[in-house]
Chain A
Amino acid sequence: MNKLSLKSLIFMALCCDLGIIAKKLVSPVANVITDHLHIPGGIGTSFSLLFLVVAAFIVRRFGAGILMGLVQSGIAFLLGSVGSMGALAPLGYAVPGLVIDLCVLLLEKTGLDQTTRITVTCALASVTASLIANIIVFGLRGAVLALYMCVACISGIICGLLASLLAKYLKKALRLEEFK
């Protein structure tokens, strides 16, 4: 991995923080929805991943996603908000980070437009995070698992669209040349 500039590292750290804060802010409303659907989550995490996806698409370095995932898990540990995953929380954050990295790398060659790439990345990362949480903690099966994945995917797509908007504004505001 090429060396990341200080500017990129600061931006990534900021996005990690914003992701955690966004998740905390959205959680009360998200919990009302997921409680009614009898599923353990799937919405809040998408908002957390939104900022990681934005940062990964702006920084464009393989490994940035995993790095941010690990930093987010560290912050979550410090804030005591690792939830039910406990000590395995870094896995729950790092694997979606890896998916983000792979998507940034692979989708670039597909010729898809920026909005679609970001949306697909966010949806896949969100579904991955939910799958990891299910494997580590919940152990859901059948219709409940399918519903959990559907909700994660929908919230991932919505967050992806928000992420693409945010990325465009940031590109203009910060004059980021790396962002195409």
Chain B
Amino acid sequence: MKRKTLIIAIAVLIVAAAVLAVVVSQNTPKKDRCEVIISYKGEQTKTDLNSLKLVQVKGTITMASGKTKDIDSKGIEIKDLLAGKEYTEVAVNAEDNYSAVLVKEDIEKAGNAYIILGEENKPRLVVMSDTNAKRDVKNVMILELK
């Protein structure tokens, strides 16, 4: 086999790989979705946070151990996410069934309760006024309005 044949074989494979890469990338669902389900009056609506107008959330939360952790991520205030809906409290449930409850006052307090884009683009609940980060819910799956 001549060197030319080898080069042609590699070139054909590279072209085939490039074409296939385009096909695969077009057919692969995008990973940058960050979805939460809002359960309201018996209906469940999926919302992609990335499709909403997000703000830069900066602040410091205090962990149960007393240590502080800086938050600097994009997110949305829950009162904006739930604008126009009636509720007295919201149960925030994670993928692992960990749950936290926010009362209306927590949510309506300006700059307090956010859903931010957490690690690996997963939604995360952050309550700035909490002193023990008990309601720091990672991998938020569903917001249940009551």
CA distance A116 to B9 in the complex (A): 12
Most chain-B CB neighbours within 10 Å: which of A38, A144, A150?
A150
Q: Is B51 in the interface zone, CB < 8 Å from A?
A: no
Binds A, one of B13-21, B91-99, B138-146: B13-21
Q: Is A70 in the interface zone, CB < 8 Å from B?
A: no
The tally of CB-CB contacts under 8 A between chains A and B is: 38
Cβ distance B8 to chain A, nearest Cβ, rounded Å: 12
B23 A143 Cβ-Cβ under 8 A: yes
CB-based nearest B residue for A160 = B6
Tier of interface size on chain B: 10 to 19
Residues of A within 8 A of B25 (CB): 37-38
Residues of B within 8 A of A112 (CB): 1
Cβ distance A154 to chain B, nearest Cβ, rounded Å: 5
CB-based nearest A residue for B25 = A38
- Which of A39, A119, A143 contacts B27 (CB under 8 A)? A143
Interface size on A, residues (CB 8 A): 16
Give the secondary structure class of A's interface. Answer: helix
Residues of A within 8 A of B13 (CB): 150, 153-154, 157
CA distance A65 to B83 in the complex (A): 66
CA distance A112 to B1 in the complex (A): 6
CB-based nearest B residue for A156 = B13
CA distance A122 to B132 in the complex (A): 57
B28 A38 Cβ-Cβ under 8 A: yes
CB-based nearest A residue for B13 = A154
B residues 24-68 with Cβ under 8 Å of A?
24-25, 27-28
A residues 29-83 with Cβ under 8 Å of B?
37-39
Q: Mark A139-158, 1 if CB is under 8 A from B, else 0.
A: 00001101100110110010
Residues of A within 8 A of B1 (CB): 112-113, 116
Q: Is B110 in the interface zone, CB < 8 Å from A?
A: no
Beyond A38-B25, A112-B1, whether A157 also contacts B6 by CB under 8 A is yes
- Which of B6, B9, B10, B24 contacts A147 (CB under 8 A)? B24
A157 B24 Cβ-Cβ under 8 A: no
Beyond A112-B1, A116-B1, A143-B27, whether A154 also contacts B20 by CB under 8 A is no
Residues of B within 8 A of A38 (CB): 24-25, 28
Residues of B within 8 A of A151 (CB): 17
Beyond A37-B21, A112-B1, whether A154 also contacts B27 by CB under 8 A is no
CA distance A39 to B21 in the complex (A): 9
CA distance A112 to B21 in the complex (A): 32
- Which of B10, B14, B24 contacts A37 (CB under 8 A)? B24
Beyond A38-B25, A157-B6, whether A147 also contacts B14 by CB under 8 A is no
10 tightest Cβ-Cβ pairs between the two chains A and B? A147-B20, A150-B17, A116-B1, A143-B23, A38-B28, A154-B13, A38-B24, A37-B21, A150-B16, A143-B24
Which B positions have Cβ atoms within 8 angstroms of A? 1, 6, 9-10, 13-14, 16-17, 20-21, 23-25, 27-28
